[in-house]
Structure 1
């Protein structure tokens, strides 16, 4: 081999090694918190009409069924309790709550490596849904979800770059006692991932025990309050326009315990909200604004995510659909309302009505994930793994969803236009005395990882290559990836001494 060919070979080897090495955060083509907001489902005039309609609904209709403690908090803040038991909110009271609200929320990770900045139009994708069944992808069947299923979902999410947070994707149906279920949900989640966790509680009295466990995991109450790594997903309203009494009491306990709150209004268009997209957004906005008054009456500036979460409905059958084009528009409009108030917000994206990860699931999941991201939704919940309109969760679909969300995030990033990317010098060099193509140029090689997202499991081979490598199946690849992840011990597992202390104090169902 002559010297020149050796140099060329060495150069190629070095470039290959460089491309194989993990990219720094600055070099990655996509990363958590990319800024969206380029897509506008609503005009400014439409946003203001929805805002004014929501304020009128709060002032003239109000919300019913607040707990006794909530009535006091709200009336002390200036809301009015009517003879009909409904609490009405003067416009000035709502505007005061918006002004007091925390607009610079960071959702913390346990290890500090995956904190989520919810300012502006920064976008983050994660799980949610509390499905009651798991999808058996090989048997094409559904079975009851368990604590192990939840723990495994968190372990898988922990290693997926494009899953930024983990809100409880499944219910632990193998635990009958509600207190033990809530505590094991926290244990199973936090020991599976160091990313930010979302969970809920079935009774306000359970929050104290949960906080005790979280203080142990954090290393003390002071450290927990400094960096709370679990948030309360709280369905504080029962649409239309009623407080969920017990959930409100849970919310109060969580606020006092320093836990961030997701104010979640989950009406169904045509059933528990108006059937029109605009009407559903008005009601959800009004309900969450009422919740915002509540939170800031308990503790001004407490971290609260504006969770307008209206779902679509198939009006032919009455079945919920989380995967329609209307759903994508609902979440996009909600994102704009969050931005109108300058408040961190979250809504639905990525749900599929399909029962298995097939072509239907792919187009449904991509549609709403892309639109939510382009709209600048801070927290896109249920973005991966959710099937059968939230009834089923699938580990393999979660893994495939990581690829899908990667493409969605590249759309969010958009197109950079500057002297370098306009590439006029490249065009001149290649066309005048050059090779007549851009393959292998320094500029192409330098930007191939910075500008382009490559699928982890998606197949881009030619039909000939595909046949030569055994015609790999996407689902089989996802199964293999799941088994590979779960064959390795959780990187988020607790120190053995801490784990023993937790198990001594709480009845933990997961094997040690």
Structure 2
């Protein structure tokens, strides 16, 4: 057989290059969305129980301050007590009841069903995060304020990246100084740029109301939106340590009543707004998120809520946040253990 005949039978070098460059079939890919993790466990089973019991003690005896009136109206019939100092106390039995009715094994939907996520158990999904106000310009290399085009462009990138499974709003469009325009357009830019699940936040419930109406139109009606909500709310409903955030709580209520999944974020900073000891910081963030979970279930029992312990650590030399520190990794792994302990999406 001549060399040209051999080349023809194999399809030629171009065909072989195309074959090598082609994506693998889903059933033979070495890495897929939702692969299981959880091998690293900084806490023993006994230590997990200690963290849990300490968090319940904090909620029962210290509670959270600055609850808005509608929060109190929802939680006191649910079993909370208001202390003489005006702090909302969460009895142990209330938290145990909350955990018994909390949503489990709920899907986080994409606009395209092929991007639906099932984030329960030890499954792992990767996504973006943050709310950066500056960005390195991809053309000039200069550091500048982030704008709307950046938010859309990053969403488009995420949409094409195989191993990024959801788009959490990454930048703030600072070309939109009006807060309402910024909130609504951030949501619009995100869902326009990707058909994967989107997470973003709002600073006022009216902005979220307007966004929900827009999402109903995109979904094809409110009923279709409620059946497959493809946007979740990232909500920092607490100001650590142990205080409710007024506007965030109002937005939380709007999201829950609007059928939008909520990511309950507690973002204490060990050594600043949380205890410097890592175990103490973990107790505080677990307590805060459990309080948020009770809040959500008092509003709508079984509403999809994500256990969002978001650990940060201070550089004690300067007081600044030490992003990416070893301590933060340990706290994050321990937080994942606590979510597994409660069998909650985290």
TM-score by length of 2: 0.95
- Residue pair 1:67, 1:246 contacting (<8 A) in 2 also: no
TM-fit CA distance, 1:10: 2.5
Give the secondary structure class of the aligned counterpart of 1:188. helix
CA distance in 2, matches of 1:317, 1:162: 36
- Residue pair 1:110, 1:229 contacting (<8 A) in 2 also: yes
The answer for the alignment partner of 1:126 in structure 2 is: 127
TM-fit CA distance, 1:18: 4.2
Give the secondary structure class of the aligned counterpart of 2:65. coil
CA distance in 2, matches of 1:6, 1:171: 57
The answer for the alignment partner of 2:308 in structure 1 is: 307
CA distance in 2, matches of 1:5, 1:209: 66
Structure index of larger Rg: 1
- Residue pair 2:180, 2:207 contacting (<8 A) in 1 also: yes
Give the secondary structure class of the aligned counterpart of 1:319. coil
The answer for the alignment partner of 1:54 in structure 2 is: 55
TM-fit CA distance, 1:285: 0.2
CA deviation string 1:363-394 (max 9, x = no partner) = xxxxxxxxxxxxxxxxxxxxxxxxxxxxxxxx
Give the secondary structure class of the aligned counterpart of 1:116. coil
CA distance in 2, matches of 1:59, 1:98: 15
TM-fit CA distance, 1:90: 0.7
- Residue pair 2:184, 2:208 contacting (<8 A) in 1 also: no
- Residue pair 1:215, 1:224 contacting (<8 A) in 2 also: yes
TM-fit CA distance, 1:186: 0.9
TM-fit CA distance, 1:12: 9.0
Give the secondary structure class of the aligned counterpart of 1:105. coil
TM-fit CA distance, 1:166: 0.7
The answer for the alignment partner of 2:318 in structure 1 is: 317
The answer for the alignment partner of 1:246 in structure 2 is: 247
TM-fit CA distance, 1:142: 2.1
CA distance in 2, matches of 1:243, 1:306: 17
Q: Would you say 1:233 and 2:234 are equivalent positions?
A: yes
CA distance in 1, matches of 2:65, 2:51: 21
The answer for the alignment partner of 2:75 in structure 1 is: 74
TM-fit CA distance, 1:9: 6.6
CA deviation string 1:419-446 (max 9, x = no partner) = xxxxxxxxxxxxxxxxxxxxxxxxxxxx
The answer for the alignment partner of 2:257 in structure 1 is: 256
TM-fit CA distance, 1:245: 1.5
The answer for the alignment partner of 1:473 in structure 2 is: none
TM-fit CA distance, 1:105: 1.8
- Residue pair 1:59, 1:90 contacting (<8 A) in 2 also: yes
CA distance in 2, matches of 1:263, 1:12: 55
Note closer, same or farther for the CA distance 1:60–1:131 as it changes in structure 2 (3 Å cut). same
CA distance in 2, matches of 1:311, 1:230: 25
- Residue pair 1:154, 1:193 contacting (<8 A) in 2 also: yes
The answer for the alignment partner of 2:97 in structure 1 is: 96
TM-fit CA distance, 1:271: 0.5
TM-fit CA distance, 1:112: 1.0
Give the secondary structure class of the aligned counterpart of 2:173. coil
Please list every run of 5 or more consecutive structure 2 residues that lacks an aligned counterpart in the other structure: none
Please list every run of 5 or more consecutive structure 1 residues that lacks an aligned counterpart in the other structure: 346-512
**RMSD over aligned Cα atoms:** 1.9
1:31-430 correspondence to structure 2 within 5 Å: 31-136=32-137, 141-345=142-346
TM-fit CA distance, 1:270: 0.5
CA distance in 2, matches of 1:145, 1:4: 55
TM-fit CA distance, 1:140: 5.1
Aligned length: 345
Give the secondary structure class of the aligned counterpart of 1:285. helix
TM-fit CA distance, 1:19: 3.5
CA distance in 1, matches of 2:127, 2:160: 13
